[in-house]
Amino acid sequence: MAFDGVSDQTMSRKAMKAELLDAETELRLAYAWRDERDEAALHRLITAYMRLAISMASKFRRYGAPMNDLIQEASLGLMKAADKFDPDRGVRFSTYAVWWIKASIQDYVMRNWSMVRTGSTSSQKSLFFNMRRVQARIEREASAEGRQVESHEMRRLIAEELGVPEHDVEMMQGRLSGSDFSLNATQSTEDEGREWIEALEDDSQQAAETVENDHDNATLREWLLHALSALNERERFIVQERKLREEPRTLESLGNELGLSKERVRQLEAAAFGKMRKNLEGQSGEVLNFLN
């Protein structure tokens, strides 16, 4: 869903005119997309909740990102939510989609806040989006009591409030207080001064390394496919869901799908890994790391 050349006002107006789905219609569309990959159902579901995506995107305008870009990221989060939504869970799609939309926008804001990546751990995200609010509140409360908060005490209070390590607070304060430095700036005031970018080492792979890595990856892939072929269908499914997905499934979710306890799924996973290790004995230690 591209928004190039379309104003955020236009998108907002279109979103506000979209239909409001009742629970029954929403459920029917979700089943149609999940079970039949009905693109018309997906489009209708996404369109109905674009107003939610736009509303959430507007809350992040203070970070300086273009509204169109924020809406684009919000829509990507909305589409990912639709793809992963399980209507059997008994949860409304809008409730489920909020998390994916927010996560997508936050990731975009953090990627573009600075040329130096701000961070992507849960601790860093919590600090990035909440630290200034918490710090302002602490300063207001201290001012009302007629006292000032020292920097070390402020870091401690913020860390306690947000449940993050104190050294993460110190690191985030430094990142947010600094400014971006252009690599195209010259190293001296002289006209002929070198740009800083010229001093950076080229760490990209050379042609020989690329060919070698491609060959190694192909070999590893063959070994893994051979090891997987020794498993039965259920074991192969568990390994694929636990190790080969971009976002690995939990033992509990697999147990719910297979009608097994979490402990039984763990036992089957361990047995499958044992079979694969035996099949891969004598091969590269790198491929065996896959099973750890």
pLDDT computed for residue 286 by the predictor: 46
Binned at pLDDT 50, 70 and 90, residue 288 comes out as: very low
Considering only residues 256 and 192, tell me which one the structure prediction assigns the higher pLDDT. 256
pLDDT over threshold 90, residue 31 = yes
Mean pLDDT of the chain: 76
Work out the average pLDDT over 182-203. Answer: 52
In 3D space, the residue among 120, 262, 129, 283 whose CA is nearest the CA of residue 216 turns out to be 283
pLDDT tens digits, residue range 264-285?
988 998 888 888 777 766 554 4
**29, pLDDT greater than 90:** yes
Residue 235 zone, left/alpha/beta (φ > 0; ψ -120 to 50; rest):
alpha
The pLDDT value given to residue 165: 85
Average pLDDT of the segment spanning 145-155: 86
Question: pLDDT tens digit string along 111-121?
Answer: 776 544 445 56
* Per-residue pLDDT reduced to its tens digit, 134-144: 888 888 888 88
Contact at 8 Å (CB) between 260 and 244?
no
User: Residue 170, class by beta-carbon neighbours within 10 Å (0-12 exposed, 13-18 middle, 19+ buried)?
Assistant: middle
Rounded to an integer, what distance in angstroms lies between the CA atom of residue 213 and that of residue 205? Answer: 10
Percent of the chain having pLDDT more than 90?
12
Between 39 and 215, where is the model more confident? Answer: 39
Among 65-69, 96-100, 245-249, the range of highest mean pLDDT: 96-100
The per-residue pLDDT for 287 is: 46
> What pLDDT is recorded for position 127?
74
What are the DSSP calls for 182-229, one per residue? -TTSBSSSSTTPPBGGGGS---SPPHHHHHHHHHHHHHHHHHHHHHHT
Among candidate residues 84, 108, 109, the one with its CA nearest the CA of residue 97: 84
